[in-house]
A = this chain, B = another copy of it.
Amino acid sequence: MLNYDLTTLDWSSYTKIVEKIHHYLEGAEDLPTGWLHAPLENQDALFVHIEETALEIRNFADVLIVIGVGGSFLGARAVQDALTPYFGAHHDGIEVIYVGQNMSGAYIKQLLENVENKSVYVNVVSKSGGTMEPALAFRVVRQYMELQYGEKAAERIIVTTDSTSGILKKIADSSGYRQFVIPSNIGGRFSVLTAAGLLPMAVAGVDIYNLMLGAKVAALEFQESQLEHNEAYRYAVLRHALYEQGYKIELLASFEPALNKFHEWWKQLFGESEGKEKKGLYPSTVNFSTDLHAIGQFIQDGSPILFETLLHFHEIDDDLAVPYDIRDEDGLNYLANRTFNEINAISKEGTALAHSEGNVPVIQLELQKLDAYHVGFLIYFFMKACTMSAYLLGVNPFDQPGVETYKLKMMELLQESKVSK
């Protein structure tokens, strides 16, 4: 899966520290590492419950509104986008719409106008219920649901939250909403493979069994403590070594636009886990080939501050051949009958060569097929690699003290502006 052209790396200098971190993580009881072994546990009852709920929603709703921010929506949206048709969401079956990520009045208002006369279900995802954006969105959407459905609204609102504490838990209990649990030992950006991610995905038509099978195989494969045999750890070491060499930015690049939202999930995972104590690689993403005609110039010839991680899936389910054209006015008949995905793969090779020659280090991550199984595998791979990488950097992957600064400032300003009004 992992290829790279970094020949100057002394792997042996990392073997001991990697093993030490590995055993620390495996043995830790006070860390929020529930995601580490969850895929190995028997979660069949949960999956059946999720599938049954998803089936009900698909049967009775035209739209599922998912309310969440950060880790409470990025994972679900990432997997949904990666695995469902490009234009399908608006035509076949149910539409899954996300809200509570922003505070745009226009977005929320137009969302409600858009769902008028449609049958709506709601899934609120928040561990605490106290985060401003989803809390405000839920207040609006809850009122809408109660106006539309009266007492029946409670049957259409499903809450995914902590099992015992938090504002959202209290609201769900008092209103009798159905509840799914985000385990208390799994933090937001590691929660994509819990009910937080799985319920919206299942509604969108993602095969969550194969997704979790991929995660399980990854959990087994990356349980290996030896750097030499663990590609998640090797990826962590590669990116750490490049950081030590002075690179500032890791650029995750893929060649299928369906992965754009997956990029956003990846950015949060690495940015929020590592960006602290004035350290960390800045996580940035591009979608090729479109961005070769945008940011490609900078990658090739601009400030030499970045390395590139190319993410490539060998097989994509749908494809199309370049047609033969007897006129051949565009001179492209030499590509006739080849498929776009073939040409895209060659474009990937060309990119890797061109950027290597431009002295941009290139790491390649290759997976067999863009399907639920391999996306599940990849999610686990990144979560495991990210954790190792953060510890190599000497930071705690599981906190986010910097986000609190913004929240505090905003609360202060909101209180002040209330007084002055």
Bitwise, A209-233 to B at CB < 8 A (1) or not (0) is: 0000000000000000000000000
Q: Which of B297, B303, B335, B354 contacts A278 (CB under 8 A)?
A: B303
Report how far A303 CA is from B278 CA in the complex, Å: 4
Least Cβ distance of A176 to chain B in Å? 13
Q: Is there a chain B Cβ closer than 8 Å to A17's Cβ?
A: no
Bitwise, A95-119 to B at CB < 8 A (1) or not (0) is: 0000001111111111101100000
A417-B346 contact, Cβ under 8 Å, with A257-B104, A298-B282: yes
Counting chain B CB atoms within 10 Å of each CB, the highest count among A281, A304, A413 belongs to A413
Contact call B113/A403, Cβ cutoff below 8 A: no
A318-B106 contact, Cβ under 8 Å, with A268-B294, A294-B271, A298-B280: yes
Chain B residue contacts of A272, Cβ below 8 A: 294-298
Contact call B300/A282, Cβ cutoff below 8 A: no
Bitwise, A318-339 to B at CB < 8 A (1) or not (0) is: 1110110100011110110001
Bitwise, A167-180 to B at CB < 8 A (1) or not (0) is: 10011001000000
Q: Is there a chain B Cβ closer than 8 Å to A91's Cβ?
A: yes
Report how far A322 CA is from B109 CA in the complex, Å: 11
Chain A 57-112 interface residues, beta-carbon cutoff 8 Å to B: 69-71, 74, 85-88, 90-91, 101-111
Contact call A257/B294, Cβ cutoff below 8 A: no
Quick check: which of A24-32, A137-145, A149-157 contacts chain B, the rest being far away? A137-145
Interface of A is mostly: helix
Contact call A174/B329, Cβ cutoff below 8 A: yes
Counting chain B CB atoms within 10 Å of each CB, the highest count among A88, A104, A136, A295 belongs to A104
Q: Is there a chain B Cβ closer than 8 Å to A387's Cβ?
A: no
A406-B302 contact, Cβ under 8 Å, with A101-B290, A255-B104, A271-B297: no
Q: Is there a chain B Cβ closer than 8 Å to A19's Cβ?
A: no
Chain B residue contacts of A318, Cβ below 8 A: 105-106, 109-110
Report how far A306 CA is from B403 CA in the complex, Å: 17
Chain B residue contacts of A394, Cβ below 8 A: none
Contact call A297/B140, Cβ cutoff below 8 A: no
Chain A 153-200 interface residues, beta-carbon cutoff 8 Å to B: 167, 170-171, 174
Chain B residue contacts of A304, Cβ below 8 A: 278
Q: Which of B278, B295, B339 contacts A302 (CB under 8 A)?
A: B278
Contact call B406/A351, Cβ cutoff below 8 A: yes
Q: Which of B287, B301, B305, B317 contacts A282 (CB under 8 A)?
A: B305
Q: What number of A residues sit within 8 Å (CB to CB) of B?
A: 121
Q: Is there a chain B Cβ closer than 8 Å to A293's Cβ?
A: yes
Q: Which of B281, B295, B340 contacts A136 (CB under 8 A)?
A: B340
Contact call B299/A350, Cβ cutoff below 8 A: no
Contact call B105/A91, Cβ cutoff below 8 A: no
Contact call A87/B105, Cβ cutoff below 8 A: no
Q: Which of B108, B279, B322, B408 contacts A320 (CB under 8 A)?
A: B108
Report how far A410 CA is from B329 CA in the complex, Å: 21
Chain B residue contacts of A412, Cβ below 8 A: 350
Q: Which residues of A are at the interface with B, using a C-beta cutoff of 8 A?
A: 69-71, 74, 85-88, 90-91, 101-111, 113-114, 129, 131, 133, 135-136, 138-140, 143, 167, 170-171, 174, 248-249, 255-258, 264, 267-268, 271-272, 274-284, 287-290, 292-306, 316-320, 322-323, 325, 329-332, 334-335, 339-341, 343-344, 346-347, 349-351, 353-355, 357-358, 400-403, 405-406, 408-414, 417-418
Question: Top 5 A-B pairs ranked by shortest CB distance?
Answer: A275-B298, A275-B302, A300-B402, A70-B293, A105-B340
